Amino acid sequence: MDATQLFNDIITDNTSGSGELLSQLKAKVKSYLESSNPNPGKLVKELQKVAEELKDFAVIIHFIYHFTKKVESDPSISSLKNFMDEYEKKWNVTGLIRKFYRDVCLAGKTILVHSNSSTVKSVLEHMDEPGNCRIIQTFSSPAGEGIKQGAFLTDKGFDVTMIHENNAWNFAGTIDCFLFGADRVETGRFMNKAGTAHLCLLARYLSLPVYVVADPRKKVEPSYYDFLKLKFPEQPSDNNSSELMQAVPEGMEIRNPYFEWIPLKLVTDVYS
């Protein structure tokens, strides 16, 4: 198997959450290591391209950092296969979800969720009776990845209503709480899909709780970026402007950041 362009579909995927992208990434790495004549050096070069393109995703950076370190210390295929198994065992959100449910009861509630988060889906999947709560799922512009999460939750037995996040005010009287994931968590702030901030402000106005549940790997160290020779992303990256406008008038600038920083003071509790 050729490592070149092994991860192109991951790099261009703009509707999957960072956790789902990581699962796809790990599966491809495992498959490559099982192929004939795998080359760890080439694999690391391709992973570096992923890190450059998906630098806003802390879990992606976390995995690539640790895998690259492992290749540098012991590039044998058996060692790398063992690393993959151990990484899978060590890093999961099961304990985090247990902690969340010790503190929070979602039964009978109407919960607004935004975008497409593997952690949020895992939290909701662990409910004893999905039919006991209602989900308001946002579309999540411009890519509309909320559709994927909404379909997933519907298949799991939840009562789901799909709305555009700009219409959340029209449903204010029906919402009991807000549940978000995060792509990065830092002191005093977290990064999530654009639109999260104004939903948090709506919750603040309505005096409703906002819960953020994030994989511990979302607290990535700046040193990881230094090791991978990447500039630490202080601000969210811009994405394809054509998603907003195909024909851009001369002199007009189009900005399309997918993510935004939200102050943690707008959040009731963070589980990470």
Average pLDDT along the chain = 93
Q: What are the tens digits of pLDDT across the range 195-239? A: 999 999 999 999 999 999 999 999 988 999 999 999 888 877 777
User: What residues are paired with 263 via a beta bridge?
Assistant: 189
Based on its alpha-carbon atoms, the radius of gyration of the chain, rounded to whole angstroms, reads: 19
Residues of the chain above pLDDT 70, percent: 100
In whole angstroms, give the CA distance from residue 107 to residue 127.
Answer: 8
Confidence of residue 254 (pLDDT cuts 50, 70, 90): confident
Rounded to an integer, the average pLDDT of 16-22 is 93
What is residue 195's predicted lDDT score, i.e. its pLDDT?
A: 96
What is residue 267's predicted lDDT score, i.e. its pLDDT?
A: 98
Backbone torsion region of residue 228, taken as left when φ is above 0, otherwise alpha when ψ lies between -120 and 50, otherwise beta: alpha
Task: Assess contact for 161 and 235: CB atoms under 8 A.
Answer: no
What is residue 91's predicted lDDT score, i.e. its pLDDT?
A: 93
Domains and CATH numbers, the chain: 8-91 (no CATH), 94-218+258-271 (3.40.50.10470)
Give the residue among 166, 158, 163 at the shortest CA–CA distance from 135: 158
pLDDT: is 119 or 4 the higher one?
119
Q: What are the tens digits of pLDDT across the range 131-187? A: 789 999 999 998 899 999 999 999 999 999 999 999 999 999 999 999 999 999 999
